Each structure stands twice: as C-alpha cells, then as structure tokens.
Structure 1
Amino acid sequence: MKSLKLISSAIAMLICFVTMAQERTITGIVSDETKLPIPGANIINQTSKAAAVTNFDGQYSIQAKTGDMLIFQYIGYKTQRQKVQNSNTINIQLFSASQTLSEVVVVGYGTSNSEYEDRSYARAERRKEKKEISKALQGKVAGVQVQNNVGYVAAPSSSPTVVIRGNASLSPKNEPLYIIDGVPAKANQMAKINPNDIKDLKVLKDAAATSIYGNKALNGVIVISTKNEIYKNLSEKELDKKLNIITPIPAEPTQEDYDSFVENAFESPKTAPLSTFSIDVDNASYTNIRRFLNNGQQVPKDAVRVEEMVNFFKYTYPQPKDENPFSINTEVSDSPWNSNNKILKIGLQGKNIPTNDLPASNLVFLIDVSGSMSEMNKLPLLKQSFKILVNELRPKDKVAIVVYAGAAGMALPPTSGDEKKTIIDALDKLQSGGSTAGGAGIELAYKIAAENFIKDGNNRVILATDGDFNVGSASNADMEKLIEEKRKTGVFLTCLGYGMGNYKDSKMEILADKGNGNYAYIDNIQEANRFLGKEFKGSMFAIAKDVKIQIEFNPKQVQAYRLIGYENRKLRPEDFKNDAIDAGELGSNHTVTALYEIIPAGIKSDYLAEQPDDLKYTKTEASTNNYSNELATIKFRYKKPDGDKSIEMVQVIANKSVALEKSSDDMKFSAAVAWFGLKLRDSKLIKDKSSEEIVKLAKKGNSNDSEGYKAEFIRLVETSKQYN
C-alpha cells in the first residue's frame, strides 16, 4: 500500500512537471494608464526569445511555459515584466516613462563637494516646482542662462536653450558642449535623460572647459555621469534609440520620387466607345497620403492615386455564387461634387478561401539592408512587420531570406513555416549599411524562388525597401524590363515600401505593376498588422490574375464618361482580348472598386470639349436598336493563377439610378474617398471642394468599420483643412 502511494505521488509530480514544461498560448491586452489599448507594443519571452506585437486593439498572443518571464515594452513607457503562472490570460497596463528630476547639485570648476552643496535650497526649490534637467541648471552657476523655446511650434524632441557664457559668446551659436558618460551629445539628448539615473552633473567654464575639451568647449561644458555609465561608448544614433528620441520629420519631402500623370478627361462614347483598364488592388497611395497628413505635411499631387485610396477600404459585396473566382456588383447614383452628373460604381468581391485550403507557399523575403534603410521607420520597422507575417505561416509553407546592399546574399536558406524562431532570429540579425544593388537582389531572389518552385502553389517574392535602387539596374526602364522577364517564371511579387525623405514610389509602383504583384506602403506597425496579418490571405494568395475590365457605354443614355483614377492602369481596346498583356491580380476575399463619372445624355456641361466635325471617310453611327433600359455593357477577363488563357464574363448595367441619399453605404463612402483624392490632386473636373461636405458624406457611409479605418479617414479629412 505504501509503495502504491509512492508511485501515485511520483506520477502526480511527473504530471505537474510535464504541465509546467508544456508550452501554451498566452493572450491578453496591453493598455496605457488611461486603459486605452496600445497598438505596436512589443512582448518578448525572456526564456525562449519568442516575440509578439500587439494589434490595433492592443491584443497579443505569444507562446510560453509556466515560469517563463514575459517582458512588455513600448516607446515612452516603462518596461513591465510578468511571470507566467497558471492563467492563459495576462493583461498589462504600461505607464509613462517621463519623470522629473528630484535633486541636482551644480558646481562650477571641479568636482562636487559637500561643503558647496546647498541642500536646504534644493529642497525648498523642489517643493515649489518639479524641475527638468535643463531648468535645474538655472541659477546654480554664475553666467548660466536657460530659456524656453517659445513663439513657434517646436519639434517633439526640442529642449530649452542653455547658454553658459551669455550672448557675447565666441561662437555664433551659444550652445554649450554636452558630455554624457564621456560621449558628446546634443541638447535634446541631455533633456531626455532619466534624472533618477544621474550620478553627477557638472558645469565647466572658461579654462576649466577648454583645457579638457579644446575649442569645442568655448561655450562651456555640461558633464553628466550616470550611475552605471549606461550611455558609455554609444554612437549618436544609438544614444537617440536608447533615449527614445525620434528624429524630427522634415517639413517637405525633398528626394521622394513620384511618376507624374494627367487625370482622365471626359470622353464621348461616340468617339471612344470602349473604356478598358486593368484592376488595381494596391493601396500604397492611401497610406502614404496618411503619413503626410499625420506629419503635418503638404501632400504632393503626384503621390495621390485616387483608385488606391478607394481600394484601401473594404466594402460589403456578396461572395461569388458560381464557378468564377469573384462576383460583379454595380450601382448608379448622383455625383456628390457635380450635381448634374452620375456615378457608376463597379465592385468585385474575391472568393473567400479558408486558410487551410490555400495552397502551400514558397516565399522569398527580399530585404534592402543598404545604408538608406538605417532609420527607425525603415529596417527596424521592417523587421517587426515581417515577424507578423511569419506568425501567419503554416508548417507546409517555407521561407528564404535574401538581402542586398553593395551585393546580394542569402541570409536564410528555405526554412519550414513551423520553424518560426529560426526565421525571426535571422530577421533580428539583419543590419543596414552600404549601397543598393537592387537588380542583383531581385535576380537572386527569383533564382531561389524558381529552385524551390511549388507546382500549383503560392510562389512569391516579397520585396521590402525604400525603393532607392542606386546601383546595378538603376533606371526605371531597366527595372521594368528585368521584372517583366522574371514574371514569366510564374513567381508573383509583393512590394512593401518603407520610410520617408528619399522614398522612391515610382520604382515601387513599376515593380508591382509589371511583376504580377501588389504594392503596399507600411507607415507604421498598425499598417503592417493590417496588410501582413489581418489581410494576409488577400495580400499573399492570388485567386485570379491578369484581370481586365472593358465597358461600353450606351450613347443614347451617356453623353460623356470618365474613369476616376486608374490613369496608369488604362489599356487599349485591343489589349482586352490579348492574353499576352499583363493586368492586375485579385487575392482571396479581396475587393476591387472602380468609379466612373457620367454626364447623362441631354445635359449641358462645362466639362465637355467641343464636338469634332463629322468625319469624311469614317462614319460613327449609333445602333438602330433601342437599348433605352441599358446604361452600359461590362466585360471581364481573367486567368487562373497558373493559367495562360483568359476567361470572359459579361454583364449588362441597367439604366437605373437612385438618389445619393438612398444609395448604399458603400457608394457614399467610396464616393467620399474619391472626392477627397480629387481635392488633393486639385482636380479641375470637380466644382465643390468642401472638406465639410466630404466629411458629411463619409459619415453617412461609415458602416461595417470594426477596425476603425473609415473613422480614421474622416479624421484625416478634417485634419487636412489646414494643409490643403
């Protein structure tokens, strides 16, 4: 009996140990002191080194075992640690890291000595107000002046001006030299130091300063020593990163490239009976515009592609009910900006294929690690973005990583999707430096993708860069030729753009358009989570390729028409049936929306050009048939992802219009987004450019917005009033 009890106890202990050692999924929400969710917070398992990032709602999911220590981090907030116990849910509240200095003793010439410290004065001052480091210098040493920066909008990291010698300085700039743990620093870096970390602070003037630091110390020196020399031997960029300092954004983009284009004009169905174009599911233009507006910058006109703005948002079109991979949906209503005109909306809804039913993926991450990628919103953001994508991979998927700078190389051979830690470790090791051999990188990435090609699978190169290809195939023409050649391999292409200041939108768009691919601009971790996480299927799995649309308007009902946006996606009428002509791709559960503005027959319009004289040799006559109940006939052509021959679909659009007030929410909201895009482009074809009216229409159409993107758009329009 005793031995039986011992065996039972041993089994119980074994079960306990196994349970403790078993890895499980920990979920929760990270919020701030006001209980609002924090998107983009980092969660690290200190034991396994696994990492996760919170989504837009502050939610996270990470693998851990009982006893593991989870670390919760977010810029500007104190790091929190939490040990995993029995619960699978851990909610964490982060608190701001900003603190005030409790006490600083400043001594001119030499080291601190207790007989010179006036502690009673310091305590009295502390009771009056909490002091920052720079304010604590005021009045402590003769000749020190501290001035607040007022009278203008300062950068987020700006700090008060400190002058030691006074205005009669020997240098045209009166700023002193700052030394932090022996490292030369800037005023904004000094201002961000946590006062609790300071061991000693000194002010040196005149000979005491120049004898140690030379001519750089002509305006005096402020020397700060921390308790554990935590900033010792750091570079300027490393010091900025350590202190959570974000480099101020320039007022205007100076080296960003955008292809210029002329917006579509009104055309007569009598002289141009067919309108043909390729679908576009890219939405990089919208996120790029959002970046400009959020940074308080003027939006460059050529950065605005209206169709990409409209297609950023999801609309409630029904799923296809036949063998075709998408459904076709049309609606006609009044134009909100030209009251006499009509708007035709064409919506495609891609078939939603369950994740487990999607084919295996052969992915090659092609990552730019050149010197231009060093900023925080480039390679560091890129690494976090790709970790989101890695979390979506299945065991049957595989990933290789190719990097390029001065040359191209393979950072990770093809690796199974269930080896997430191996893939993430390879991402974490990436560092920036060197020039940009973009052509060599593309060659190597496609070579690896072809060598590991999965028949009937999802074979794709995912390029992440700021688009600054300045070595190798540099010109847009060279890149276009290269990528057109590579698409013949059956490998698709996704382009992810990062950064600002030298962002090359023109190259990114060419690569995506010509390479059987799509294109997104990642301006923050929330956008990465949307495109690479929540919309992973639509972004990475094509269900139809080379999708073309051709519409023939009935001249008895339509006096003139114009396609809104899609300027660089227009095709010639004869390209519609030519299967050699490339067109856009549609992903699983993706939607595509296109808008036409129509001038009805019999309406007098200021936007119509003079009609040409009757032709002598060529007669264009309307059909004798009476199609009074038809507005237009629309045709679609598409290929299966692995097919070479296109399939055609045809649908007639009835001559039936509803008032804008009675139109669908999708019609109202898509029209509002297009209206805002036309306003940003300063379109000459819209009369009303009122931001208030755009907001009013968008609010009426704001439904099915669980992620909050439509509400964010409304705030952007309201914000843009002062910039446009």
Structure 2
Amino acid sequence: MLLVFSSWSASPEAPFTVSGLVTDAANGSPLPGVAVRVKGSTQGTVTDIKGTYQLQVPSEQSVLQFSFVGYRTKEQKVGSRRSINVKLEQEVEQLQEVIVTGHSTRRQMKMSAPIAPTGAPAPQMMYGLADQEEMYPTHNTEEYATVHENAFREVLQHPLSTFSIDVDNASYANMRRFIMGGQTPPKDAVRIEEMVNYFSYNYPQPKGEDPFSVTTELSECPWNPQHQLLHIGLQGKKIATENLPPSNLVFLIDVSGSMNTPERLPLVKAAFKLLVAELRPQDRVAMVVYAGAAGLVLPSTPGDRKGEILAALERLEAGGSTAGGAGLRLAYQVAEEHFQKGGNNRVILASDGDFNVGVSSTAAMERLVEEKRETGVFLTVLGFGMGNYKDSRMETMANKGNGNYAYIDNILEAKKVFVNEFGGTLFTIAKDVKLQLEFNPAKVKGYRLIGYENRLLNKEDFNNDKKDAGELGSGHTVTALYEIIPAGSESPFLQLVDPLKYQKETKIAPGAARSNELLSLKLRYKQPDGATSKLIETTVSTQTTPLDKTSDNFRFSAAVAGFGMLLRDSEFKGNLTYPKVLVMAKGAQGRDEEGYRAEFLNLVRSMEIVAKK
C-alpha cells in the first residue's frame, strides 16, 4: 500500500484548460492576435477577434507568457486559476529603441508533428520554439519584385496611358507590419496603388447596367502646386450577401515547417474561422493542405455544416517541406469537380510563399495558375509570416490567377478581408478591367500615373480581349491618381529629346485647344463568366476644384499616395513631409467606422519617429 501511495503521489498533475481575456491597459479594448504560450514549452495559441484565448497547460506550476507587437511582454503564473485576464501596457519606447539593420532576428524553430488524420482528436498546436532565452540571428530572406517608379511622360510622344486595375492591398498591411516593428519598409515592398486601395472611398453606387460607376476629380497637386492631380474612382456594385451566387470554395493551406510560428498557421486557422462563420447553406467548402506532399483533409462540405469544417481546421499542424505546386493542382482539381455554373468558384491559398518542393519557381507557379484560370476558377492569395516571406511570388500568382492578394498580420486584418469586405474579397462582378486615358496635348504637357507599375499595359492590349487584367469585387472601390503637368508649363521632369530624322513631330489637332476636355477616358470589362469585353467612354474637363474644396476621397487618397512616396524616397515627392501628410489625412478622415483611417494617422506618426533615427 505504501508503494502504491508513493507512486500515486509522485504522478504528474493532469493537464487542464485556462482561458481569459487580453486587453489594452490604457483603454480596456480587447487585443486580438496576442501570442499566448506556456513558458519553456512548445504550447501556445493566439487571442481571437474578441481578445479571448483558451489554452491547455500541463500543471499549476505553469507560467503563461503574453506578447504582442508594441506592448510589453507579461508573464502570469497559473496556480489554481482557470481564468486569467491580462492587461498589456504599450511599449512607449519601443520605436525609439529599435535599430534597423539588414538582418532580422527571430527564434530558432523546430518542426512539429505532421497533419493529424481525419477523425483524430484536435491536437494542441505546437510552435516548436527553442529555449525562449536563446536568440539566433538569421538572414532575412523575404523577396520583393523590383518596382521602377513611373516617370513623367510627354503627351505629344505618349498620348495614351493604359493600365489594369488593382484591388490588391497586401502592400499596405505588410508595410504596416514593418513600421509597427520600428523599421522602414523595404522600398520595393511599397506599392502605392495597393496602399491607396486599402481604403474604401465614398463613390456613388452605379445606376445603369454597368456593374460600377466612374468618378473623377481634378485639383492642384498637394506636393507640387505647379502641377495638377487627377483622381479617378471606380465603385463596384454592392450586392447583398443573401443575393450573392453560391460559392464553391477550396481552402488551400500551407502546413509546411515554415508555417510553424504563431503569426502563421495559428493565425491562418483563426482567419478561416471568421470566413466559415459567414458561409451560407448553399455554399460549399473543401480543404486541401500541403507540406512534403498535398492531401485532401476535408471533402467539399455544405456551408451549414460548420462543425465539420472547423474540426478539420483544428486538426492542422505544421511540419515538413513545401510542395506548393502539388497543392495548387489538387485544389484546382477539387474546385473543378464541384464547379458551380454561375457561382463563385475559388481557391483560397494561405501561405508564406516559401515553396521548395516540386513546381516551386515563380515562373513555374505563374504558368500553372495561368493554365488553371481558364477553367473559370478564381484564386485568392493570402500571405502570412515574416522573415522568409515571398511577396513577389504571392503577388504574381494572384495577378495571373484572376484573383486578389492580401497580407494578414493580425486577426483584425483577417476580419477586414473575410467579414467587412466579404463580397469584395470573394465575389467578382467584373473581370479583365482596363483603363486607357488619352490626354489632350493642348491642355496637358506631361503626366505620371502614381503606382500601378506592375499593372501597366501596352496601348494595343486595351482592345485585346485575350489580355488578362484586374478583377473587381462586389462593393469594391478602385482609385487611381495621375500627376499632371499643364500645357505651357516648364518642368524639370520632362527632358528634351533630339528632333526625329525620319518622321515629323506629332501635330496637335486644330480643335484641341478650343476643347474644354483635359482627356478622354475609356474603360473595358468583361462579365465574370464572359469572354467579350464591353467599352465605357467618358471625358474629363479642364475645370479644377480648389484643393481645400475637394472631397475627402481626393485629399485622403492623396495623403496615402504621398506617404507611399515618402516611404519610397521618391524623386517626385516634391515638398512632402510626414507632418504635411498627417495634416492632409486628418482633414480628410471623414466617416471612419472601422478605424482604418485613424490607424493610418498613427502609422504616419510612427514613421516620423522611425525616420529620425
């Protein structure tokens, strides 16, 4: 009996669950995306959109560690408590103490177990963190495509400007991640059109048969008063969720070893849970995962069987190499097998883009996606993670796959993508949308399209229905800005060229000077399942609005574009400074129900601190 008693008293405590709420100590607001882990172990989770968490701990001697960017890390001993609420204090000095280098520092990771088989109990997510006190400096292997900023073009030589719309906004969230970490974003990570289009604008809903409206506004350029700024806005038709066509979705989730950190797979799972909550009975979801190989972990399932979908999500764990090409092929195959004619057929890829097995190069993935888009299946690309993030590859795949691209760095961004902008993210109302502007040389000497560098098209592409272009979702807005040099102005941005030997200089049409038209604007688009484009034409007059009388749309988009030019240290930034951007944005904040514009103001303030270091 003594031996039995001794054995019983020496047995370890049974694991138990601790839950709680994490809030901001200053204002009491919940903090989504906080990493919660058992100190010295591999167990962890992240807080959900309401700031709550639930975590299994091994014993009452366990210590919970709470960490979040911009806040002081806090530790709490569990003891006999089963509910632990925590208030995190902001790290006031964080931005001033960060030294920006060409390297990143992160914790060494160990790989966890492979995916649990279907039907197995949901395992505790393993992060595989090495001893928390030991830090390993590693090279930053993030990849960004080079962006050669658009220059001014002389109208007599280049009267036409042609480009594809871009509703992606990944660059903004990624840029925010750098600034919140006290760093200046890499120059090529800043794509100005994606920053501008991160925000929605108050454009009128379309009234005719076309699925979007076109709005223009012309005023003085805020950073160069000798120039003008043209604002072009498209507003996609807002379709009520209950009236949207049925969805045939395939979640394609990267569960390779590189996804084995709190801001990757755990955040992916939390993000998809938000989307699952929005699904309707007529929608269907399948789930494909890939690591060293690809596999179907959930067959196509009706949207009202949420328990089955969520259970499949919970079973996911990370580990192994990354066979991205195999995963894509399988996901498209499943989507094609359950294709909904007239519906929304879409693969949603969640990854850090670090493919390394099988079809893995950017060019190979591009060809694969181009091939599969002909099936009528669209592609949404969601980026996660840092340090090894492959932005260039993710962007290319989205562009070639008739889809959109977002970067998700926290649960609030996931809510923006999957809840606030549900229709715009997942439901295409027009595809292959292209714009072509013809400038009147009697009124305009030169122009520059701000951003859209990787969306430029040849003038011949505008009428070519085989040429791929951007997609517009339900309720989405698209904004483009042109900086214009008025006719008769002198500008250092336009360089003289020698006269042509074999042809005469272009002549201005006699009626151009008498016209009050600044330019003609043409737009082409196709129906989501169409093959032939429709043409829309309009003109923009030379009439300008005083800058202080322009709309909030005009001034806020100009402020965001100006911020992007400062981040890129653009040669065209004129007299811009961070304080000037802040004043312009504050005066145009308008209705800001979700707080996105207020967050932008804080980013400008933060970047001003970082820039002084």
The TM tier, using the shorter chain, reads 0.7 to 0.9
Whether 2:149 is the aligned partner of 1:263: answer yes
CA distance in 2, matches of 1:32, 1:296: 20
Who is 2:562 aligned against? 675
2:389 maps to 1:498: no
Q: 2:470 aligns with which of 563, 571, 584?
A: 584
Which digits, 9 at most, give the CA deviation of each residue in 1:164-184, with x for residues without a partner? xxxxxxxxxxxxxxxxxxxxx
1:38 to 30, 34, 45: 30
For residues 349-387 of structure 1, the C-alpha deviation after alignment (integer angstroms, 9 at most, x for no partner) is 000001111000000000101111101111111111110
Match of 1:561 in 2: 447
1:686 paired with 2:577, answer no
In structure 2, do the counterparts of structure 1 residues 236 and 464 end up closer, same or farther at CA, with 3 Å as the change threshold?
closer
Question: What is the aligned partner in structure 2 of residue 324 from structure 1?
Answer: 210
2:188 maps to 1:302: yes
Structure 2 vs 1, CA of residues 253 and 550 (structure 1 numbering), >3 Å: closer, same or farther?
Answer: farther
Answer whether contact 2:48 2:411 (CA < 8 A) is retained.
Answer: no
Q: Which of 375, 380, 398 in structure 1 is aligned with 2:261?
A: 375
- Aligned equivalents of 2:245 and 2:134: distance in 1? 43
SS in 2 for 1:340: strand
Residue 632 of structure 1 aligns to a residue whose secondary structure is: strand
- Residue 41 of structure 2 is matched in structure 1 by none
Helix, strand or coil: the match of 1:421?
Answer: helix
User: Whole-Å Cα distance in 1 between the matches of residues 591 and 531 of structure 2?
Assistant: 37
Asked if residue 455 in structure 1 is aligned to residue 341 in structure 2, the reply is: yes
| CA-CA distance at 1:74 after TM superposition | 7.9
Residue matched to 1:623:
509
Contact 1:516/1:584 (<8 A) preserved: yes
Contact 1:264 1:562 in 2 (8 A): yes
CA contact (8 A) 1:32 1:94 kept: no
TM-fit CA distance, 1:660: 1.3
Select 1:438's aligned residue among 324, 327, 331.
324
Unaligned runs of 5+ in 2: 1-20, 35-44, 53-64, 68-73, 90-95, 100-106, 108-124
2:543 to 645, 651, 656: 656
> What's the C-alpha RMSD, in Å, of the aligned pairs?
3.1
In structure 1, C-alpha distance between the alignment counterparts of 2:318 and 2:164, rounded to whole Å: 37
Distance 1:246 1:356, change over 3 A: farther
Q: Which amino acid aligns with 1:237?
A: G
Under a length normalisation based on structure 2, what TM-score does the superposition of the two structures give? 0.82
Equivalents in 1 of 2:203, 2:134: separation in Å? 43
Cα separation, partners in 2 of 1:599 and 1:371, compared to 1, 3 Å: same
Identity of aligned residues (%): 53
Question: Separation in 1 of the partners of 2:600 and 2:351?
Answer: 26
CA separation in 2, counterparts of 1:579 and 1:246? Answer: 58
Q: Secondary structure at the match of 2:591?
A: coil
1: distance between equivalents of 2:602 and 2:134?
A: 25
Spell out the pairing of 1:429-578 with structure 2 (5 A cutoff): 429-578=315-464
For the 8 Å contact 2:127–2:260, the answer to whether it is kept is no
- 1:351 is aligned to 2:343: no
Q: Larger Rg: 1 or 2?
A: 1
Mapped pair 1:277 → 2:168? no
Letter in 2 for 1:355: T
Task: Evaluate the alpha carbon distance shift between residue 350 and residue 248 of structure 1 in structure 2; reply closer, same or farther with a 3 A threshold.
Answer: farther
Deviations 1:22-56 (A, max 9, x none): xxxxxxx98566662204279xxxxxxxx99754x
| Structure 2 match to 1:114 | none
- The alpha-carbon deviation at position 235 of structure 1 amounts to 8.8
In structure 2, give the amino acid aligned to 1:380: P
Instruction: Give the aligned partner of residue 166 of structure 1.
Output: none
Does residue 494 of structure 2 align to residue 608 of structure 1? Answer: yes
- Structure 1 residues 45-56: aligned runs within 5 Å: 55=49
For 1:63, the equivalent position in structure 2 comes to: none
**Separation (CA, whole Å) in 2 of partners of 1:495 and 1:255:** 20
Hey, what's the Cα distance between the residues in 2 that align with 1:579 and 1:294?
A: 42
CA contact (8 A) 1:38 1:54 kept: no
Answer whether contact 1:30 1:41 (CA < 8 A) is retained: no
SS of the counterpart of 2:432?
strand
For residues 190-269 of structure 1, what are the structure 2 equivalents within 5 Å?
Answer: 237=128, 254-269=140-155
* C-alpha distance in structure 2 between counterparts of 1:656 and 1:249, whole Å: 60
Shift of 1:82: 14
| TM-score scaled by length of structure 1 | 0.69
Residue correspondences, number: 535
Give the counterpart letter for 2:259 in structure 1.
M
> Is residue 2:608 matched to residue 1:721?
yes
Higher normalized contact order (CA 8 Å, seq sep 6+, divided by chain length): 2
Distance, in Å, in 1 between the alignment partners of 2:186 and 2:171 is 11
Q: CA–CA distance in 2 between the matches of 1:363 and 1:542? A: 14
- 1:172-228, Cα deviation, whole Å (9 max, x unpaired): xxxxxxxxxxxxxx9xxxxxxxxxxxxxxxxxxxxxxxxxxxxxxxxxxxxxxxxxx
**Deviation of residue 236 (structure 1)?**
8.6
What is the distance in 2 between the residues matched to 1:249 and 1:456?
52
Contact kept, 8 Å, 2:98 with 2:182, in 1: the verdict is: no
Q: Is the 8 A contact 1:31 1:93 kept in 2?
A: no
Deviation at 1:238, TM superposition (A): 6.1
**Equivalent residue for 1:387?**
273
Measure how far apart 1:269 and its partner are: 1.4
SS in 1 for 2:224: coil
Check 1:483–1:531 CA distance in 2 against 1; reply closer, same or farther (3 A cut).
Answer: same
Paired with 1:238 and 1:52, the residues of 2 have a C-alpha distance of: 15
SS at match of 1:490: coil
Matches within 5 A, 1:325-344: 325-344=211-230
Distance 1:154 1:559, change over 3 A: closer
- Structure 1 residue 624, shift from structure 2 partner: 1.5
Give the direction of change, closer, same or farther, for the CA distance of 1:332–1:38 in structure 2 (3 Å limit). same
Write the letter of the residue equivalent to 2:269. K
What is the alpha-carbon distance in structure 1 between the residues aligned to residue 406 and residue 81 of structure 2? 36
